[in-house]
Amino acid sequence: MSRLRSAMLKGKRAGLEMVDTAKPKRKRSHTAVKDENTTNASSPSTYHTFHDPTDVVLLRSQLLNWYDKEKRELPWRTLAVTESDLNIRTYAVWVSEIMLQQTQVATVIDYYIKWMKRWPTVKDLAAATLEEVNQMWAGLGYYSRGKRLHEGAQKVVSELKGQMPRTVDSLLKQLPGVGRYTAAAVGSIALAQVTGAVDGNVIRVLCRLRAIGADSTGPAVTEALWSLANTLVDPERPGDFNQAMMELGARVCTPKGPLCSQCPVHSHCHSFRKVHVKQEKNSRKLLGKLDKKPSSLPDIEDCMGHVLGVQNFPRKPAKKPPRVERTLTCVVIRRGEEGEDEYLLTQRPNKGLLAGLWEFPNLLLEEKSSEMKRKKALCAQISGILGTHLTESLFQYVGEVVHIFSHIHQTYVVHSVCLKDTDTQTQTENAQWLTRSTLQEAAVSTGVKKIVKLCDSVDSQKEQTSKDGKRQKQTGTKNDKTPQTSTKKKSAANSGSRQLSLSSFFNTVKQES
């Protein structure tokens, strides 16, 4: 009896086990799988860092060898190597780093060459006026950078006896507009200070090398990236190493379409390895399923793995859409004393957007305003600047110009007015008349140059229309003077060539006979 009872219990347990086995297993969440994969690779503290000194030495060697062969020849790099005067070298690298903020290398080159030719030392820059600096900076964007360079040069001359700071900390503390990255870059390149430098390119490279998927703009991740950069930087060639990291991010490890096969350090790259392993796994999975001849093929996405690959790193928060603005702008023109057209410009405040630059008179446009209201508002503003009375009928609509700032989508609604009075004088200090040639060289923004280009285009169209109209009139007059005899001959010829009807044909034959 006891044996029978034990056998029944065993049978019951086996049945339960079969039921459990038959139950479909619950899918683990993506997060759980991801955590497991990370843990399997190594602990998070080592997986996202460089814990092996041998790997660090190898990475430095591979990167610097690539840089020595592939680096671009740029004027500031040449100067940093050839200039023996430490003060001039530090100044030159400082100027280049400020210009390169938020601006492409190709755009900066010409500006940098002109700048260094005009102000080769920090004392030369300090002696310049802000107006001259703004003129030189015009078109480079982010105009406060030029102003801070000028302020910094004046501070070096007046407070530091003309000597540029000699350490990263002093660069950071003593120069206006110099942040953590700029101080590290100047310190490592010009002064051989052993420090990492983390800019946008370096953030991307580091996040991909260590598969850092957290928000790269967060404070904790920022500190972690700086720690990584300081770990990796070559103590013998800190400036070259930092420039090599930037060069790698700019040319190989790009935001879109990274050239992983050409990367000198892809063997150290966790994100590249993740993609490679995933692709191999999916390939084996696909081949295995095909060998078994399944009833349905696997989903194509299962075979692709992570579609973006290394481009999944770094992760950034979504950008705020730019603020939309519409600005009513007026190009005021008068005939100068020497017969050349002159343009009225006003100067912007010394602080804020486009600080200290010159522009055409303008005012922010209200959302719902008629053409008459716009002209009336412009008329009042310009009458105030000139101290005279103008009428709305003088103002003509020209067109619209779109100009994109980093945070503003600006549309200039352009009008123009031509004044006949050459004695019209400005009544405010921040307004002046400039000839066309002077305007091109003045401290004006790219938006102003676009407006001038629009006006030129409209004027040329008007001239072309006028010429076409004159030609048509001349052609019409000539046709009117054509002798009538020739017209009759032509009509007769035309009538003779027309096909006759059958009845007309037989009547003609009878008459001839």
Domains, the chain, in order of start with CATH, read: 48-268 (1.10.340.30), 323-467 (3.90.79.10)
**What integer is the mean pLDDT of 88-98?**
98
Banded model confidence at residue 90, pLDDT cuts 50, 70, 90: very high
What are the tokens at 436?
A: 């066309």
Helix (H) or strand (E) holding 9: helix 2-22
**What DSSP line would sit under 54-68, residue for residue?**
HHHHHHHHHHHHHHH
- Per the CB < 8 A criterion, the answer to whether 208 and 269 are in contact is yes
Please count the other Cβ atoms lying within 10 Å of the Cβ belonging to residue 321: 8
**What integer is the mean pLDDT of 307-336?**
86
Helix (H) or strand (E) holding 115: helix 105-118
pLDDT, residue 299, reads: 41
Q: 0.75 exceeded by the pTM?
A: no
- Per the CB < 8 A criterion, the answer to whether 183 and 171 are in contact is yes
Burial class from Cβ neighbours inside 10 Å (0-12, 13-18, 19+) for residue 449 reads: middle
The answer on pLDDT for 427 being more than 90 is no
pLDDT tens-digit readout, 388-413: 889 998 999 999 999 998 889 999 99
Of 83, 97, 159, 359, which one is the catalytic site residue? Answer: 97
**What integer is the mean pLDDT of 328-336?**
93
Helix (H) or strand (E) holding 36: helix 30-41
- What percent of the chain shows pLDDT beyond 70? 76
More confident residue, 300 or 259: 259
CA–CA distance, 253 with 170 (Å, rounded to integer):
32
Three-state secondary structure call for residue 410: strand
Torsion-angle region of residue 243: left (phi > 0), alpha (psi -120 to 50) or beta? Answer: alpha
**What integer is the mean pLDDT of 357-381?**
89
Q: Is the dihedral of CA 290, 295, 301, 302 positive or negative?
A: negative
Q: Which residue, among 100, 154, 93, has the nearest Cα to 127 in the 3D structure?
A: 154
Helices (H), 175-218: 180-191, 200-209
**What integer is the mean pLDDT of 493-510?**
44
Banded model confidence at residue 154, pLDDT cuts 50, 70, 90: very high
- Most confident by average pLDDT, 43-52, 308-317, 375-384: 375-384
Phi, psi of 177 (to 5 degrees): 80, 5
Question: Mean pLDDT for the chain?
Answer: 82
Banded model confidence at residue 199, pLDDT cuts 50, 70, 90: very high
- What percent of the chain shows pLDDT beyond 90? 57
Helix (H) or strand (E) holding 363: strand 362-364
The answer on pLDDT for 145 being more than 50 is yes
83 is catalytic: no
The answer on pLDDT for 242 being more than 50 is yes
pLDDT, residue 31, reads: 41
The answer on pLDDT for 352 being more than 70 is yes
Q: Give helix 200-209 / helix 270-291 axis angle, nearest 10°.
A: 40
More confident residue, 38 or 314: 314
- 175-189, 349-363, 392-406, 409-423, range with the lowest pLDDT: 409-423
CA–CA distance, 377 with 373 (Å, rounded to integer):
6
- Per the CB < 8 A criterion, the answer to whether 241 and 57 are in contact is no
What are the tokens at 447?
A: 């938006």
- Per the CB < 8 A criterion, the answer to whether 105 and 74 are in contact is yes
Q: Which residue, among 361, 365, 364, has the nearest Cα to 331 in the 3D structure?
A: 361
**What integer is the mean pLDDT of 499-507?**
45
Banded model confidence at residue 464, pLDDT cuts 50, 70, 90: confident
The answer on pLDDT for 308 being more than 50 is yes
The answer on pLDDT for 422 being more than 90 is no
The answer on pLDDT for 253 being more than 90 is yes
pLDDT, residue 512, reads: 44
Banded model confidence at residue 302, pLDDT cuts 50, 70, 90: very low
Beta strands in 405-513 (DSSP E): 408-419, 431-435
Banded model confidence at residue 278, pLDDT cuts 50, 70, 90: low
pLDDT tens-digit readout, 19-29: 343 344 444 44
Helix (H) or strand (E) holding 329: strand 323-335
Angstrom CA distances, 333 to 344, 360, 402, 416, stand at 7, 11, 22, 8
Q: Which residue, among 167, 190, 194, has the nearest Cα to 88 in the 3D structure?
A: 190
Residue holding tokens 């347990």? 13
